Structures are given as structure tokens and as C-alpha cells.
């Protein structure tokens, strides 16, 4: 329990939860109180600096000093409490020293990575991120729904509420940069509800994976470009002629029929890489590793997949 510290809360929900759970903690402000007391502009400026990652001190057009570090120091803010649905803010905070201490709460607490008092919470959160991303962990809607406090107090439409809560979790994972974990949640949704409802979220995850490949390896795989709808981040477009990337394969994948996709016979490095990512999404780490190794061993003039496969194997501490 995070207590006895000053928290910045991005909503009344966050402020109420912090005051309820903490005996000595204080909220610097919440939007509704700031609006009543004429401080909403200051609150919005701090939020804007967080979204833009404006940490360093700078002069605003009105002559005041900006930069979230200045405000946090002046106000003694040690915690950020962010609603799980604030995807843009979660994505922006990943580029700062603010790190989450939870990954499946309706309100996500952030503390600075340098905050020694919360090292244990930060370590546990990193371990949880590794579990959902790099193990055979899979998402169970029934277990998740029974653990959500909203379900117990909602007397009608529990199924609809469950779906919205699960989708919120998928989008939170994606906002936290846990794209594989988000796809696992979206897979459960596609298997229980209409897959078409979640197509845009699935494609968004692949755009995130393509961006991750580009930022960390400087290359993109055909699979993430293709499912991400042409979000090409490099200046080459691999030729997919003769590969099994066709409309039927895409339809099966988007519908959540991953086992059917994995029955395809891969003959190229790009295809093996695609099946590796699908196996990982299906919570089959062993299968994913075998496909990445096969991609490396497959003769190909496309050296990008060799490098990308080795990159993923390194994340799992497995050699090529």
C-alpha cells in the first residue's frame, strides 16, 4: 500500500481511491476540486508536460516556469495515480523515469524509478510484466471478471461490463508497451465475443510491435507491417509473393483461430517469424522459440529476419 505521500490524481476516481486506501496520504489536486478553486489551468499544464515528456525546466509563453520536474519538486509529488483508460498518458510515461507499480488495477500508481522507498513494488511490477509477456501465461476472462470489483455491484448487464473491463485491460497493456500481453487478452476476447469488434485493437498492437522492432533493431518484420495495415517504418517492403500471407490467413488470425494459422507450413524466414509471434500470442513459448530458430536456419536473402529472430531469442535468454 502506497501511503503518506503527496499524489497527483488525474481523476476524481483516482483521488477517491487514494484517500480511501491511504491513512496519511494527500492529493495535490483532483480536476473537479481544481476547477472549483480556479487551479485547473495549473493542473492541466502539469498533465501536458507529462504527456509531452517535458521534464526539464523551460519558460512558457506566459512567463511561468514549465517542466513536470519543477512542479513535482515544488509540490512534493511522489506518486502519479492514472486511470487505466488514459492510454495516451500511459504511453507517454513509458518514456520518463515514472514507472508503474501495478499492471491490472483500474487506477495505476506511478513512482520514480529512483524512489528507493518503492523498490520492492517496482521489482514486483517488472516481474509481473515478464510473466505476462515472456511465459506461457494466458488470459482467462472468467477469472478476471470474478476479480473485478465492479461486477459484484452491477445487477444487470454483467456480460457487457465484463467485456468492457477486459478490453480496458488489453488497452492498458498496450499503453504500457506490453503488446504481446495485450494480444493475449484480445485473443480471449476474440474467442468469446465478435472478433470484428477488436480488429482495430489487434492492428494497433502490431503497430506497437513494429515500432519496437524499429526502435531496438532498426528493422521491421513483414508480419507486423502486414497486420498493422502498412505501418512501414523502414524504407524497404519485403516481397510476400509465394508466401502464405493471404486473405484467408489474415481472416483466421484476426478471428483468433491461431491453431489453424499454426498449421500452415512455413518455407521462408518471414513465415517462420510470423508463426513464432503467433505461437507466443497463443502462450506457447517453446513453439515460438523453435520457429525463431527455424527462421534463422532458413536460407534467405532477407537478413532482417535473422537479426529480428536473434533479438527475440535474446529476450528469452535463448541462443540462436
d(CA 96, CA 88): 13
d(CA 166, CA 187): 11
Predicted confidence band of residue 194 (pLDDT cuts 50, 70, 90): very high
C-alpha cell read off for 57: 525546466
Whether residue 240 has pLDDT greater than 60? no
Query: For the chain, what is the mean pLDDT?
Result: 86
Instruction: Look at residue 60 and give its three-state secondary structure.
Output: coil
- pTM, rounded to two decimals: 0.88
> 36-94: per-residue pLDDT in tens?
888 888 888 899 999 998 988 888 888 888 889 988 988 889 999 999 999 999 999 99
Q: Pick from 275, 278, 221: which is nearest to 293 by CA?
A: 275
> 124-177: per-residue pLDDT in tens?
999 999 999 999 999 988 877 766 655 444 445 556 668 888 999 999 999 999
Q: DSSP H helical segments within the chain, as ranges?
A: 12-21, 31-36, 40-51, 68-75, 87-93, 119-134, 141-147, 149-152, 158-175, 179-192, 199-216, 222-227, 247-254, 258-262, 269-281, 285-297, 303-315
Cβ of 154: how many Cβ atoms within 10 Å?
A: 13
317, 292 contact by CB (below 8 A): no
Cβ of 160: how many Cβ atoms within 10 Å?
A: 11
What is the DSSP track for 102-143? Answer: -SSSSEEEEEETT-GGGHHHHHHHHHHHHHHHHSS----HHH
CA-atom Rg of the chain in angstroms: 22
Amino acid at each position: 500500500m502506497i501511503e503518506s505521500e503527496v499524489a497527483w490524481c488525474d481523476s476524481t476516481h483516482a483521488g477517491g481511491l487514494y484517500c480511501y486506501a491511504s491513512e496519511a496520504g494527500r492529493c495535490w489536486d483532483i480536476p473537479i476540486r481544481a476547477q472549483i478553486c480556479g487551479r485547473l489551468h495549473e493542473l492541466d499544464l502539469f498533465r501536458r508536460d507529462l504527456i509531452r515528456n517535458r521534464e526539464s525546466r523551460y519558460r512558457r509563453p506566459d512567463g511561468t516556469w514549465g517542466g513536470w520536474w519543477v512542479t513535482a519538486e515544488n509540490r512534493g509529488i511522489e506518486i502519479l495515480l492514472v486511470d487505466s483508460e488514459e492510454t495516451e498518458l500511459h504511453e507517454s510515461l513509458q518514456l520518463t523515469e515514472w514507472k508503474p507499480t501495478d499492471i491490472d488495477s483500474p487506477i495505476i500508481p506511478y513512482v520514480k524509478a529512483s524512489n528507493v522507498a518503492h523498490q520492492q513494488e517496482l521489482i514486483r511490477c517488472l516481474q509481473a510484466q515478464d510473466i505476462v509477456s515472456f511465459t506461457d501465461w494466458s488470459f482467462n476472462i472468467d477469472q478476471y471478471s470474478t476479480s473485478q470489483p465492479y461486477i459484484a455491484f452491477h445487477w444487470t448487464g454483467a456480460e457487457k461490463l465484463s467485456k468492457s473491463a477486459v478490453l480496458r485491460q488489453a488497452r492498458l497493456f498496450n499503453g504500457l508497451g506490453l503488446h504481446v500481453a495485450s494480444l493475449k487478452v484480445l485473443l480471449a476476447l476474440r474467442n468469446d465475443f465478435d472478433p470484428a469488434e477488436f480488429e482495430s485493437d489487434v492492428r494497433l498492437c502490431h503497430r506497437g510491435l513494429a515500432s519496437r522492432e524499429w526502435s531496438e533493431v532498426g528493422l521491421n518484420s513483414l508480419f507486423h507491417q502486414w497486420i498493422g495495415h502498412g505501418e512501414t517504418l523502414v524504407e524497404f517492403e519485403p516481397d510476400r509473393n509465394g508466401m502464405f500471407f493471404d486473405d484467408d490467413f489474415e481472416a483466421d488470425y484476426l478471428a483468433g483461430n491461431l491453431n489453424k494459422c499454426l498449421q500452415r507450413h512455413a518455407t521462408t524466414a518471414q513465415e517462420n517469424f510470423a508463426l513464432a509471434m503467433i505461437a507466443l500470442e497463443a502462450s506457447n513459448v517453446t513453439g515460438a522459440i523453435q520457429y525463431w530458430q527455424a527462421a534463422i536456419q532458413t536460407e534467405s536473402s532477407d537478413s532482417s529476419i535473422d537479426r529480428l529472430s536473434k533479438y527475440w531469442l535474446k529476450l528469452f535468454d535463448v541462443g540462436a
